[in-house]
Amino acid sequence: MSLTSEQKAEIDALRANPNQTLRTVSDGMEKHLYSAIPVLDHGFVRVIDYMGDDAAICQAARVSYGKGTKSVQNDEGLIRYLMRHWHSTPFEMCEIKLHVKLPVFVARQWIRHRTANVNEYSARYSILDREFYIPAPEHINAQSVVNNQGRGDVLQGDEAKRVLEILKADSARCYDNYEAMISDDGQAGLARELARMNLPANIYTQWYWKVDLHNLLHFLRLRADAHAQYEIRVYADAICNVVADWVPAAYRAFEDYRMGAVTMSAQMMDCLRRMLKGETVEQENSGLSAREWREFQDMLST
């Protein structure tokens, strides 16, 4: 992870000077505040600010005057009920603001989540750093033969070496040309907003990203899922760990009723009922397409 010594000193100074507040704080989240969690080769996620905790979800659900907590056990029961029944607005009462450093091709997937507030580093105003995502050898895979949107086996030997060399050489050459174009040494120098167009999608960008807990959990359900691309999944995994410390009861409910849960169609439920009655159900007599049948099998497999 690439933090300069000044940036590290700034974070240390912030952590060394706590403020007193009347607001609710989450002890689990306080330990994360400002610190950068490394992700990929140069990326990170760090919590800049947050609002609310598990009790705040219950407080909003009960529209309470005070803290609103009945008991920790009661609160957890309520949170689990709310999550189970898609009663989502109490979760929107908690918010988080993150500073994320990520490759541009990951940012393109991330930005599709529209229910957040974003402010990105300006490559019109500033010069981008010479930092490119180069996958570790164990994350250089062949195209999957079963899933057009996925990867297969890890590339080996000379082929892996050749791919890595191309990635490194292209990144270096593009950045050299970027620098050469913006340089005003003996020339006018191209505007930064134009020079950036030849930079590859593995260059790192940064943004502040603020989102409420309901929409964050939606993001995590999609991006911490095994079907998500590895390079965004590692960010989602890092955020999952933060959320587990911030709102532990809500995170447990999320794991049980979202991440660990499945959605079955009416036809799948019909197959399940017939199977429970002892009937032999195959794809041919299931009423499901071959793909749905495979997905149904996946749901039932341990």
Ligand X SMILES: Cc1cc2nc3c(=O)[nH]c(=O)nc-3n(C[C@H](O)[C@H](O)[C@H](O)COP(=O)(O)OP(=O)(O)OC[C@H]3O[C@@H](n4cnc5c(N)ncnc54)[C@H](O)[C@@H]3O)c2cc1C
Q: Given its phi and psi angles, is residue 129 left (phi above 0), alpha (psi -120 to 50 degrees) or beta? A: beta
* Residue 214 assigned as binding residue: yes
Residue 140's nearest CA partner among 159, 154, 161 is 154
From 33-41, 109-117, 244-252, 258-266, span contacting ligand X (CB under 6 A): 109-117
CA atoms within 13 A on the CB side of 217: 26
Q: Given its phi and psi angles, is residue 260 left (phi above 0), alpha (psi -120 to 50 degrees) or beta? A: alpha
Tokens of 82: 């709310």
- Contact between 253 and 80 under an 8 Å Cβ cutoff? The reply is yes
Q: Does 113 bind ligand X (CB under 6 A)?
A: yes
Nearer to ligand X, 44 or 219 (CB): 219
Smallest distance from ligand X to CB 113, Å: 4
* Residue 213 assigned as binding residue: yes
Q: CA angle, 88 as apex, 85 and 92 as ends, to 5°? A: 160
Residue of 85, 112, 124, 291 interacting with ligand X (CB under 6 A): 112
Contacts for 250 with CB less than 8 Å, ≥ 6 apart: 54, 57, 79, 83, 91, 94, 213, 217, 243
Nearer to ligand X, 36 or 102 (CB): 102
Q: Does 108 bind ligand X (CB under 6 A)?
A: no
Closest-approach residue to ligand X (CB): 114
Residue of 74, 89, 115, 119 interacting with ligand X (CB under 6 A): 115
From 16-24, 165-173, 222-230, 264-272, span contacting ligand X (CB under 6 A): 222-230
Tokens of 34: 């400002």
Q: Does 221 bind ligand X (CB under 6 A)?
A: no
Binding mask 228-267 for ligand X (x = CB under 6 A): x---------------------------------------
Can you tell me the distance from the alpha carbon of 193 to that of 190, in angstroms, rounded to the nearest whole number? 8
Nearer to ligand X, 34 or 257 (CB): 257
* Residue 187 assigned as binding residue: no
From 35-43, 110-118, 202-210, 282-290, span contacting ligand X (CB under 6 A): 110-118
* Residue 227 assigned as binding residue: no
Q: What single letter denotes the amino acid at residue 44?
A: F
Tokens of 24: 């609710």
How far are the Cα atoms of 155, 227, 286, 291, 301 from residue 297, in angstroms, in the given order?
A: 29, 16, 12, 10, 6
Smallest distance from ligand X to CB 211, Å: 8
Give the gyration radius of the chain's Cα atoms. 24
Give catalytic residues, as residue numbers.
223
Nearer to ligand X, 236 or 238 (CB): 236
- Contact between 37 and 238 under an 8 Å Cβ cutoff? The reply is yes
Smallest distance from ligand X to CB 225, Å: 7
Residue 181's nearest CA partner among 103, 128, 132 is 128
Q: Does 210 bind ligand X (CB under 6 A)?
A: no
From 45-53, 112-120, 161-169, 263-271, span contacting ligand X (CB under 6 A): 112-120
Q: Does 117 bind ligand X (CB under 6 A)?
A: no
Residue set of the binding site: 89, 109-114, 120-124, 196, 212-214, 218, 223
Residue set of the binding site for FAD: 89, 112-114, 120, 212-214, 218
